[in-house]
Chains A and B, each alone.
Chain A
């Protein structure tokens, strides 16, 4: 099946610094990727839809200037948490939407755990 990788798997940073998380689609080219945030024992909340070659679409309440998304190629999307604060500590998960004929599921990455001190 499709494989999605994320890097890093976990990161600890100081408050005020920026952190970049990479999401790679290893099995197919993906024009659409999604970024989710998951707090402990809670559901996945969609943050934004990342579209290759165009601006990301952010969900209501998500600050686009704080969570910068870049989908520079068909296999790579990045999420940068700018000026991170402790309340940004969370589990960030990306997913890849396969080509139309295979869209029975999104394929999720293993997640990145961010801890902001």
Chain B
């Protein structure tokens, strides 16, 4: 019940395209959903986060869509750039904060020219 399932495992998108990564969860107590970006050899960094009281949050080219009834949330990267090539992790917490995170399995995104 603590799992967060993430798909796809890897993704190749052309420059300028839209990258979409999906996550699903079972634990209805989860109430905070961040996305992290990780470059090789580095620690993850927060990209964007959402709470279940809203269905969408947008920050620049990054948008989270949240479907509470389906227990799913997704990350959309608009106008994908080669610099976006990284591994993306969704995560969830039941504390309303980032105090205890359960991570998804990760998606390796490659943006080609």
Contacts and interface: CB of A to CB of B under 8 A. Distances in A.
Question: Are these two chains actual partners, yes or no?
Answer: yes
Interface of A: 4, 6, 32, 41-46, 49, 93, 95, 97, 100, 103-106, 108-111, 113
Interface residues on chain B, size class: 20 to 34
B43 A93 contact: yes
Interface stretch (B14-22, B58-66, B73-81, B104-112): B104-112
Most buried by A among B41, B42, B43, B100: B43
A42 B98 CA distance: 20
Contacts of B99: 32, 97, 103, 106
Contact of B105 (A4, A43, A97, A110): A43
Nearest to A97: B99
A54 B91 CA distance: 27
Interface of B: 34, 36, 41-46, 49, 89, 97-101, 103-106, 108
Contact of A110 (B36, B43, B103, B106): B43
Nearest to B91: A44
Nearest to A49: B100
Contacts of A49: 100
Nearest to A108: B43
B98 A43 contact: no
A43 B49 contact: no
